[in-house]
């Protein structure tokens, strides 16, 4: 990996709670997180937080990124406003740069055809089925799934989502990755000692 910059897509109705674990632990482990909006104009998250994107989507080049993160948002199911983000995800995957999508972003990727031949998950299978995509046979009932550079997770699994990102980027590995997950997913206090050894 030539860069330690991760790009977090932000847009109106962005589900701000879905990537808190991911971005916090990436920055604590030497990565830089830069936000990417439709433009550089401010966006408002589902939680009412205003974010000023670092750059516009048109300026984003996969060569400058270690990973693109796409979160859920009401806009994924309200029209085509976020379709350019799904198209950018295709460009990332075509360039060999991983993409991580959670919640409604998985529906956007389904519409883009990116889940037609990759194992994946989401909220529930019929949610993606409603997009008309052709990947139903590749749907997995799992907290999070990684297949050929694409990480997917449902809306209730931000910790499992983060675990897959950390594994992909080498943030935590082996026992430490397992300990991180047990600490934050299972509230297993014994994992704290392993994680900090």
3-state secondary structure 103-135: CCHHHHHHHCCCCCCCCECCCCHHHHHCCCCCC
- Residue 154, SS3 per DSSP: coil
State yes or no: pLDDT of 1 exceeds 80: no
Locate 141 and state its tokens: 């009932």
Q: What is the pTM of this model?
A: 0.97
Cα-trace Rg, the chain: 16
Query: Residues 178, 180, 181, CA angle at the centre, nearest 5°?
Result: 65
When pLDDT is cut at 50, 70 and 90, the band that residue 3 belongs to is: confident
Average pLDDT over residues 125-153: 98
Cα(171)–Cα(131) distance, rounded to whole angstroms? 34
State yes or no: pLDDT of 159 exceeds 60: yes
Average pLDDT over residues 162-169: 98
Q: Write the pLDDT tens digit of every residue in 18-75.
A: 999 999 999 999 999 999 999 999 999 999 999 999 999 999 999 999 999 999 999 9
How far apart, in Å, are the Cα atoms of 56 and each of 34, 59, 128, 160? 11, 5, 28, 28
Q: Is 192 a catalytic residue?
A: no
State yes or no: pLDDT of 153 exceeds 70: yes
Locate 56 and state its tokens: 């516009």
**Phi and psi (nearest 5°) for 96?**
80, 15
State yes or no: pLDDT of 189 exceeds 90: yes
Q: Write the pLDDT tens digit of every residue in 139-148.
A: 999 999 999 9
Annotated catalytic residue, options 103, 128, 162, 171: 103
- Which pLDDT value is given to residue 167? 98
Cα(94)–Cα(167) distance, rounded to whole angstroms? 21
- Which pLDDT value is given to residue 149? 98
- Which pLDDT value is given to residue 17? 95
Cα(53)–Cα(35) distance, rounded to whole angstroms? 5
Cα(3)–Cα(34) distance, rounded to whole angstroms? 12
Average pLDDT, the chain: 97
Average pLDDT over residues 1-13: 90
- Which pLDDT value is given to residue 2? 63
Q: Are 68 and 99 in contact (CB under 8 A)?
A: yes
State yes or no: pLDDT of 90 exceeds 70: yes
């Amino acid at each position: 990996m030539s860069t330690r910059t991760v790009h977090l897509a932000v847009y109106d109705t962005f589900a701000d709670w879905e990537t808190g674990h991911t971005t916090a632990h990436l920055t604590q482990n030497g990565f830089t997180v830069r936000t990417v909006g439709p433009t550089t104009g401010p966006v408002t998250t589902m939680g009412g937080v205003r974010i000023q994107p670092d750059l516009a989507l048109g300026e984003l080049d996969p060569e400058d990124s270690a990973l693109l993160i796409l979160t859920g948002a009401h806009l994924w199911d309200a029209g085509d406003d976020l379709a350019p983000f799904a198209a950018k995800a295709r460009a990332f995957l075509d360039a060999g740069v991983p993409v991580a999508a959670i919640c409604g972003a998985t529906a956007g990727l389904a519409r883009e055809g990116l889940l037609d031949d990759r194992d994946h998950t989401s909220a529930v299978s019929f949610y993606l089925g409603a997009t008309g995509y052709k990947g139903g046979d590749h749907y997995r009932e799992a907290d999070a799934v990684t297949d050929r550079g694409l990480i997917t997770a449902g809306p209730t699994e931000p910790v499992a989502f983060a675990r897959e990102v950390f594994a992909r980027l080498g943030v935590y590995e082996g026992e430490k990755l397992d300990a991180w997950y047990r600490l934050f997913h299972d509230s297993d206090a014994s994992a704290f000692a392993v994680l900090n050894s």
